Amino acid sequence: MKMYLISDNVDTLTGMRLAGVEGSVVHERNELKEALDKALADKEIGILLLTEKFGREFPEIIDQVKLGRKFPLIVEIPDRHGTGRKPNFITSYVNEAIGLKL
């Protein structure tokens, strides 16, 4: 199994390449769609990393892939500017998912 990164900046890709993760840099909606299609066609990719910016700017594309496919695992990661998530993101996510306040 391989990991693959689709990033919106070269710095994140460079850092991941140092860890042995290949990837591509895209900026536009159509470029993201093409990179996703290419990565999803590669059966060796088990984990697909995306920078959080794509989840914010193109949620319909990312959600379609997340909800429509079981494989690969899609993980949104912060880029060099940090995360855009609230400090209690995980707790909020669990609360919404199970309907109980922790």
Rounded to 10 deg, the angle between the 59-68 and 29-41 helix axes is: 20
**1-50 pLDDT, tens digit each:** 899 999 998 988 999 999 999 999 999 999 999 999 999 999 999 999 99
Residue span of the structural domain in which 51 resides = 2-98
CATH number reported for the structural domain that contains residue 85 in this entry: 3.40.50.10580
pTM of the predicted model as reported, rounded to 2 decimal places:
0.77
In the chain, how many domains are there?
A: 1
